[in-house]
Amino acid sequence: MMKSNAITDPQHYLHGFFVPSAITDEHQLTQLRLLAKRLRLASLPQLNSLLAGSHMSRQKGRGLDLDQLRIYQPGDDIRSIDWRVTARTQKPHTRVYKEERERPVMILCDQRSPMFFGSQRSFKSVVAAQCTALIAWAALDHGDRVGAVIMGDHKEADFRPKQRTSHVLNILKNINEFNKQLAQPADNTSQTTDIKLSLSDSLSHLKRSLKPGTTLYIISDFFDLSEHDKSALFALKRHNHVVALQVFDPLERTAPPSGLYAVTDGKGQGFLDTQNNQAMQSYSQAVSAFQQGIENTFKSLGIGHQQINAGEIPFAAIKLALEQRGR
């Protein structure tokens, strides 16, 4: 008697949420909220924001939850005196509260042309959108305000953090629109003269606009991460918690078996020849140097770096990244 897939595969239910695809599905991104309820965001050890919010800080002050009652001390706010306890004990007592601080979550989602690639399960751009949806829904359910910056080839969309379901839905709608543009044939007459948006542009924008105390998730393949970006990343890391989620395709790490493969970029068609050992050795060395450079950059800045394989379901990798938040 054959066993069903649901029995042999303990994560069979995930396949319904992550259908292999080259383009995003807005409905599927919305449905990921059901799965995001299984995720838990770890608490951050400290906060730099001075705005009111929905998370406790270690600082004592006027908030919503009582921390302790103690004897009145010179300099205490008389508005915090507990008159009932004072009358009962005949000694002035003060209420001390745990002050609340805001913990917004910001997601930088890369939907540029280099992300429009996949060799096994889904395109990198689709996985980046799925990761954004999971993080956004998990943060919203956690009581955080959620915002996003969506990067396209020639423009970006900026959504300031808000704690609304409609806001997250709007973010996902725009990600879907950006993704659909990747599948459209390029208009060579208008595209060639445009200045393409770089990772440096978006990082500089976030450096100017991000409020201290924010958790920033950068979801990209980091193909254009440069030495110049270190200063912007360092500035962001000083006052925020930054996590880099690198989406990669297996073919980008390891060339296929020896042979001649037809490839296309959606416009032209060519062939990938993996029969030349010298060429494949050079390819392997270039890939290794590229990846080592990315890892060294994030390690030197103390930024968490999680790799996400586009050939696999990304749920486990996102779960790990969220649970390590703040470590």
DSSP SS3 for 56: strand
Paired with 60 in beta bridges are: 98
Read out DSSP for 80-110? GB-HHHHHHHTS-EEEEEEEEE---EEEEEE
pLDDT, tens digit (0-9, with 9 covering 90-100), for 179-198: 999 988 665 544 444 558 99
Domain range annotation of the chain: 5-47+103-323, 55-101
Q: pTM of the prediction? A: 0.77
* Whether pLDDT at 253 is above 50: yes
Predicted pLDDT at 322: 83
Q: DSSP label at 53? A: -
| High-pLDDT (> 70) share of the chain, % | 80
C-alpha distances (whole Å) from 304 to each of 11, 103, 106, 155 are 26, 18, 15, 27
Contacts of 130 (CB under 8 A, 6+ apart): 18, 24, 28, 29, 32, 122, 314
Dihedral angle, C-alpha 129, 135, 140, 142, nearest 10 ° = 170
Is 3.40.50.410 the CATH classification of the domain at 5-47+103-323? Answer: yes
